[in-house]
Chain A
Amino acid sequence: MQAKAKLYPKEAARLLREKPGVREAVTGATLHFEEGRKKAYGEIDAEALRERAKRVKDHLLTHLDHYLELAEKRLRENGVQVHWAEDPLDAHRILREVAVRHGVKRAVKAKSMLTEELGVNPLLESLGVEVFETDLGEYLIQLLGEPPSHIVGPAIHLALSDIQRLFHQRFGTPLDAPPEALAAVARKVLRDAFLTAELGISGANFLVAETGTLVLMENEGNIRLSTSLPKVHVAFVGIEKLLPRLADLALFLPLTARAATGQRLSTYVSLIQGPAKEGEEGPEEVHVVLVDHGRTALLHDPEAWEVLRCLRCGACLNACPVFRQTGGHPYGYVYSGPIGAVLDPGLLGLEEAYPLPYASTLCGACYEACPVKIPIPKLLLTWRHRAVERGLAPTWEKGAMRVFQMVMENPALYRLFSKALRGLPLPQHLLPLLRAWTEGRGPLKPSPRPFHELWKELEEEDGR
């Protein structure tokens, strides 16, 4: 996917101005998810389980070479064809080869953020392959030609009326068709695709190294169909998505479901152990593409690597009051919200993603929600610090900070500033920084006298 992260501040402002409905839809849906998570965390010793999950992931990441080798070995033993992709070009080459060899005309896709990252859909389309997103939300945004707005709920930014209008235009359903009727239409289209597609594409929630098992969580059943009906299944897996042991699933499946949607377990969990054997039904070929695309470099970054623990549950997006105002689109890349703000600079380079670490008030709700305790606020601060060190901060900000330091380091100057604040009325509308504040909140009104002046009287009061 083409990154437009640089545009974040402008795009966020534009969205709030032009599409107020998005804010309403996203706030409603994320609050609902967030309520579910809080309730679901409340039923367990969330603190202890999050700590355990963090440790398992840290072990995995600090021994990643070993587990990748083990996973490859087990996958091959299971009859899976394993590929390695450094970057999207590698991934494209691998997929193109498979698609051409099998004369693929139709592909069904299970929702996957990694395939968004790699641009799998445009590639397949360029090969003349008809691609169907089969997750209902993902299907909607495919019809609209939009990227996902949320890691778990790709169409979270749409209101029912948006979908009614879309289906009216595409399928001629009435403008007031109820959700059930719309789902029935999508189901009919997608059922036909499942039965006729030669290729099924998925991501993976986890890949268990010990057993070479692909693990997929979902609620709609479309992933199970996408990975079992077509004769070929290609799964794209980020190298950080491994788990050491099968037994780890007992921790990670319920924890991820609770974090993501407040469920105790997702409705469907598929454990895929290779292609169909004699007498079984299922794909003849299963391919696993292990994708790096910047992850190894990030792993070797001593201050930023912790982001790789991420399970892509979206809990931090739901908890984030900044994300709630706009949804994911203004962030300009696949991964939005708090996790995007600390992952995208690592994957895209800080120059490309500069504004994203500033898309937060550092309120810390994301850290509280994260099932693997990624210290997102700390990582945000790290990326901000680096941005300043690399000279990416705008000139006005650098200037303002220098003046700020000068005034605050010098009590005499500070007192002078204090007097100026109460002296002649400040031309607040003329100073850009102040204007950004006053436009939405009115002029700043300092106390008649600052405390450091009042202190003298307080001292006397004490003496009395």
Chain B
Amino acid sequence: MRVALFITCLADQFYAEAGVAAVRLLRALGVEVDFPKGQTCCGQPAFNAGHWNEARALAQRTIDIFQEYPYVVLPSGSCASMVKNHYPELLPGDGEALGLSEKVYELSQFLVRVLGVEKLGNGLQGKKVAYHHGCHALRELGVREEPLRLLQNAGAEVLPWEAAEECCGFGGLFSVKLPEVSLAMADRKLSTLPQADVLTSTDAGCLLHLSGRMGKQGKNLRVVPLATLLWEAYAG
């Protein structure tokens, strides 16, 4: 099976290790991974802020780069949803946009739904994990159980967290257009965080925002993208 990795710009720049983990994991599961050259950003920041011309140009590029692959896997729920749900809105009547939309998966979603993997290994034995549901992964892609199941089946204790499904306040440009509200939301989310060994999520943006906020408050907790933990689940 051949898969294209769409690293997404945020993970490329800030969570490169998650990309490495995703590639190693997919290969270990017998998947051939390509990293198409020339890929950059899916255009989501522009689209969400209303700048559709800019977003359209980037969507068109992304479609050109990825359309020949049978599957496209992203270590980001939010960008996956952008391609899956919003490309067809942004480029109505565009067959290629629709075609790509059908082939796009967030990593854990791909593992469970396409590969049928339920258990990666025992590498997370005894780890207490706090899982933050990225809003777009959760509500736009419907990724709720997949990451939890993969983490738990690898021995992790996924901690109950009152605000696990609550938005962290990142929201792309929202975080700089309304910084005070954004931070207040992060603080509310973090104020309910249970005592965990590691905090994880499908989305780099959320993690950047939450880890930055914790750092500012002098809290020291390991924060890693889901892909990293899933590789640990496999490789130990």
A447 lies within 8 A of B14 (CB):
yes
Assuming the A-B contacts A361-B170, A402-B54, A447-B15, are A437 and B176 also in contact, with contact meaning beta carbons closer than 8 angstroms in the complex? Answer: yes
Binds A, one of B102-110, B121-129, B145-153, B177-185: B177-185
Q: Please tell me if B96 contacts chain A, counting CB pairs below 8 Å.
A: no
Q: Which of A412-440 contact B (CB under 8 A)?
A: 414, 418, 421, 433, 436-437, 439-440
A364 lies within 8 A of B140 (CB):
yes
Which single member of A324, A414, A462 contacts B40 (CB below 8 Å)? A414
Q: Please tell me if B19 contacts chain A, counting CB pairs below 8 Å.
A: yes
8 contacts between A and B (CB under 8 A): A12-B181, A363-B171, A386-B50, A402-B54, A408-B40, A436-B176, A447-B17, A448-B16
Q: 11 other contacts beyond A321-B166, A358-B173, A451-B20, with CB at 8 A cut-off?
A: A13-B180, A13-B181, A16-B181, A357-B50, A385-B52, A405-B54, A408-B9, A439-B179, A440-B216, A441-B215, A452-B12
In the bound complex, CA of A387 to CA of B177 (Å): 15
Assuming the A-B contacts A325-B184, A381-B50, are A9 and B178 also in contact, with contact meaning beta carbons closer than 8 angstroms in the complex? Answer: yes
A365 lies within 8 A of B139 (CB):
yes
B51 lies within 8 A of A462 (CB):
no
A408 lies within 8 A of B48 (CB):
no
Quote the shortest CB–CB distance from B164 to chain A (angstroms).
Answer: 13
Q: Please tell me if A256 contacts chain B, counting CB pairs below 8 Å.
A: no
Which single member of A362, A408, A454 contacts B135 (CB below 8 Å)? A362
Q: Which of B191-214 contact A (CB under 8 A)?
A: 208-209, 212-213
A326 lies within 8 A of B50 (CB):
no
Mark each residue of chain B from 26 to 65: 1 if its CB lies under 8 Å from any CB of chain A, else 0.
Answer: 0100000101011111010111111110100110010000
Q: Please tell me if A322 contacts chain B, counting CB pairs below 8 Å.
A: yes
Which single member of B33, B45, B184 contacts A404 (CB below 8 Å)? B45
Q: Please tell me if B23 contacts chain A, counting CB pairs below 8 Å.
A: yes
Quote the shortest CB–CB distance from B80 to chain A (angstroms).
Answer: 15
Q: Please tell me if A145 contacts chain B, counting CB pairs below 8 Å.
A: no
Of all A-B residue pairs in the complex, the 6 with the closest CB atoms, nearest first, are A441-B212, A361-B171, A384-B50, A363-B167, A363-B135, A451-B19
Q: Please tell me if A271 contacts chain B, counting CB pairs below 8 Å.
A: no
Quote the shortest CB–CB distance from A202 to chain B (angstroms).
Answer: 34
Q: Which chain B positions have C-beta within 8 A of A383?
A: 50
Q: Please tell me if B7 contacts chain A, counting CB pairs below 8 Å.
A: yes
A411 lies within 8 A of B177 (CB):
no
Q: Please tell me if B169 contacts chain A, counting CB pairs below 8 Å.
A: yes
Q: Please tell me if B11 contacts chain A, counting CB pairs below 8 Å.
A: yes
B interface: dominant SS: helix
Q: Please tell me if A17 contacts chain B, counting CB pairs below 8 Å.
A: yes
A450 lies within 8 A of B12 (CB):
yes
A388 lies within 8 A of B139 (CB):
no
In the bound complex, CA of A398 to CA of B53 (Å): 11
Assuming the A-B contacts A361-B135, A388-B50, are A441 and B20 also in contact, with contact meaning beta carbons closer than 8 angstroms in the complex? Answer: no
Mark each residue of chain A from 390 to 403: 1 if its CB lies under 8 Å from any CB of chain B, else 0.
Answer: 00010001100110
Q: Please tell me if B13 contacts chain A, counting CB pairs below 8 Å.
A: yes
Q: Please tell me if A444 contacts chain B, counting CB pairs below 8 Å.
A: yes
In the bound complex, CA of A238 to CA of B24 (Å): 59
Q: Which of A274-326 contact B (CB under 8 A)?
A: 321-322, 324-326
Quote the shortest CB–CB distance from A339 to chain B (angstroms).
Answer: 17
A360 lies within 8 A of B12 (CB):
no
In the bound complex, CA of A281 to CA of B173 (Å): 59
Quote the shortest CB–CB distance from B150 to chain A (angstroms).
Answer: 22
A325 lies within 8 A of B136 (CB):
no
Q: Please tell me if A446 contacts chain B, counting CB pairs below 8 Å.
A: yes
Assuming the A-B contacts A440-B179, A450-B12, are A397 and B49 also in contact, with contact meaning beta carbons closer than 8 angstroms in the complex? Answer: yes
In the bound complex, CA of A322 to CA of B135 (Å): 13
Quote the shortest CB–CB distance from B190 to chain A (angstroms).
Answer: 12
Mark each residue of chain A from 314 to 351: 1 if its CB lies under 8 Å from any CB of chain B, else 0.
Answer: 00000001101110000000000000000000000000
Which single member of A12, A324, A364, A454 contacts B20 (CB below 8 Å)? A454
Q: Which chain A positions have C-beta within 8 A of B138?
A: 364
Q: Please tell me if B2 contacts chain A, counting CB pairs below 8 Å.
A: no
B58 nearest CB neighbor, chain A only: A408
Assuming the A-B contacts A325-B181, A361-B170, are A440 and B54 also in contact, with contact meaning beta carbons closer than 8 angstroms in the complex? Answer: no
Q: Which chain A positions have C-beta within 8 A of B184?
A: 16, 23, 325
Q: Please tell me if A409 contacts chain B, counting CB pairs below 8 Å.
A: yes
Q: Which chain A positions have C-beta within 8 A of B58?
A: 405, 408-409
B20 lies within 8 A of A321 (CB):
no
Assuming the A-B contacts A361-B167, A408-B58, A442-B212, are A458 and B23 also in contact, with contact meaning beta carbons closer than 8 angstroms in the complex? Answer: yes
